[in-house]
Amino acid sequence: MAQKVKLSTIADSLGLSTATVSLALRDSSLVAEVTRERIKQSARDLGYIYNRRAASLRTSKSGILGVCVHDIMNPFFGEILKSVEDELDRRRQTFILCNHHDELAKQRSFVDTMLQLGADGLILSPAIGTPASDIHLAEENDLPVTLIARTIEGSGVCGFRGDDAYGMGLAVDHLIGRGHRSIAMIGGTAMTSTGRDREAGYRAALKRGGIEFRDEWRVEGPRDRHSGFDAVSAFLAIEKRPTAIVCFSDLVALGVMYGLSRAGLRPGVDIAVIGYDDIDEAAIATPALTTVANGQSEVGRRAAGALLDRLQGLPASEETILITPELKIRQSSEFAWPN
């Protein structure tokens, strides 16, 4: 590579000052139309590359947003990210992705990097065990945070997620309405707000239906397809086997259906299965999976919107917004259960 092209290279080649060049490249009306065009042309010709860190050092704005979630490969997040991305694209913001795998250390190192780069904001699905003070640290250092999918007690920032207790209630109500009297719940952990709320919704619905909860019905843990598959053996070991299963997520449910098939049981015929999230795959799975649509794209769009509004100086909210979920009935829970 030859010499680095900078503002002064352009300025010198045109006999102008760097101030004028800088303004022109940012389309300032302070610079005459003709001059502006000459400058832009010259920048192209010389192969000028804007030095964002110099600019950012001067202005203390970076034009960068961070997005950090625990599992980028989970279609649930995929759908959130897609809508975050669409919203940010629409508003012409660059963003940077991070996958923290629910490891607090990874999340911290990413937040640190964002701080060091002077990122303008952060959209975060917090790792298990994230203390409110981590959020405060970011906020105190001029990094506004918006939470998605999970929220944190006392964080003092706004967040968007589905109404998990209500949504899981819809699923269980539906099964009870179909005649089921023994319903297991597979997956999720009490370490996240999502896990706690979905389990609470499950238990509340059983109670509403006059069904007494039994400890053995609750298979905690699984949060992905593979662990859902593995959990089937624990389920099959339940003494009086439940006739229906609600799962923590679609991914878990799809794994569970694979596992049931492996064991010679037909999901949707021998046993009802319901997922959560309504990911794209739910509709094409065979049998098609009954599930709870969780408003991913609304979560993503609104979270991005809220952050951008705040960056533009609108007042910050501290609210957690709950998106209302919706039951999607498909084959996997279609058949009424004979009592």
Partner DNA sequence: CTGAAAGCGCTTACAG
Q: Which is nearer to DNA, 26 or 90 (CB)?
A: 26
Q: Which is nearer to its own copies, 85 or 216 (CB)?
A: 85
Q: How far is CA 304 from CA 86, 144, 272, 300, in A?
A: 9, 12, 37, 6
Measured between alpha carbons, how far is 337 from 60 in angstroms, rounded to an integer? 63
Min CB(16)–its own copies separation in Å:
22
Query: Quick check: 157 and 147 in contact, CB under 8 A?
Result: yes
Residue of 119, 159, 155, 144 whose CA lies nearest to 311: 144
116 binds, among DNA, its own copies, none (CB under 5 to 8 A by kind): its own copies
Residues 237-296 touching its own copies, rule: CB under 8 A, are 255, 258-259, 261-262, 280-281, 284-286
Choices 21-29, 91-99, 122-130, 235-243 (CB under 8 A): range interacting with its own copies: 91-99
Q: Is 57 in the site for its own copies (CB under 8 A)?
A: yes
Measured between alpha carbons, how far is 300 from 87 in angstroms, rounded to an integer? 8
Q: Is 26 in the site for its own copies (CB under 8 A)?
A: no
258 binds, among its own copies, DNA, none (CB under 5 to 8 A by kind): its own copies
Q: Which is nearer to DNA, 59 or 286 (CB)?
A: 59
Measured between alpha carbons, how far is 278 from 280 in angstroms, rounded to an integer? 6
Choices 24-32, 75-83, 241-249, 314-322 (CB under 8 A): range interacting with its own copies: 75-83
Choices 125-133, 221-229, 236-244, 291-299 (CB under 8 A): range interacting with its own copies: 221-229
Q: Is 225 in the site for its own copies (CB under 8 A)?
A: yes
The site that binds its own copies (CB under 8 A) totals a number of residues, namely 45
Could you give the dihedral angle defined by the CA atoms of residues 182, 185, 191 and 192, in that order, rounded to the nearest 10 degrees? -120
Min CB(298)–DNA separation in Å:
35
End-to-end CA distance of the chain: 78
Sole binder of DNA in the list 1, 2, 15, 284 (CB under 7 A): 15
The two three-digit tokens of residue 28, written as one number: 């300032």
Measured between alpha carbons, how far is 213 from 204 in angstroms, rounded to an integer? 9
Measured between alpha carbons, how far is 268 from 331 in angstroms, rounded to an integer? 6
Sole binder of its own copies in the list 19, 30, 54, 314 (CB under 8 A): 54
Choices 89-97, 190-198, 205-213, 269-277 (CB under 8 A): range interacting with its own copies: 89-97
Q: Is 222 in the site for its own copies (CB under 8 A)?
A: no
The two three-digit tokens of residue 307, written as one number: 């952050």
Q: Which is nearer to DNA, 19 or 263 (CB)?
A: 19
Q: Is 78 in the site for its own copies (CB under 8 A)?
A: yes
Choices 17-25, 107-115, 120-128, 184-192 (CB under 8 A): range interacting with its own copies: 107-115
- Per-position x/- string for 26-65, each x denoting binding to DNA as judged by CB under 7 A, each - no binding: x--xxxxx-x------------xxxx--xx-xxxx-----
Q: Taking the CA atoms of 188, 191, 192 and 194 in sequence, report the sign of the dihedral they define.
A: positive
Q: How far is CA 248 from CA 167, 176, 252, 299, 301, in A?
A: 11, 18, 6, 18, 23
136 binds, among its own copies, DNA, none (CB under 5 to 8 A by kind): none
Strands of the chain, DSSP E:
64-69, 94-99, 121-124, 145-148, 159-162, 183-186, 218-219, 244-247, 272-274, 291-293, 320-323, 326-328
Helices (H) and strands (E) in the chain, counts: 13, 12
Instruction: Using CB under 7 A, list all residues that contact DNA.
Output: 4, 6-8, 15-20, 22-23, 25-26, 29-33, 35, 48-51, 54-55, 57-60
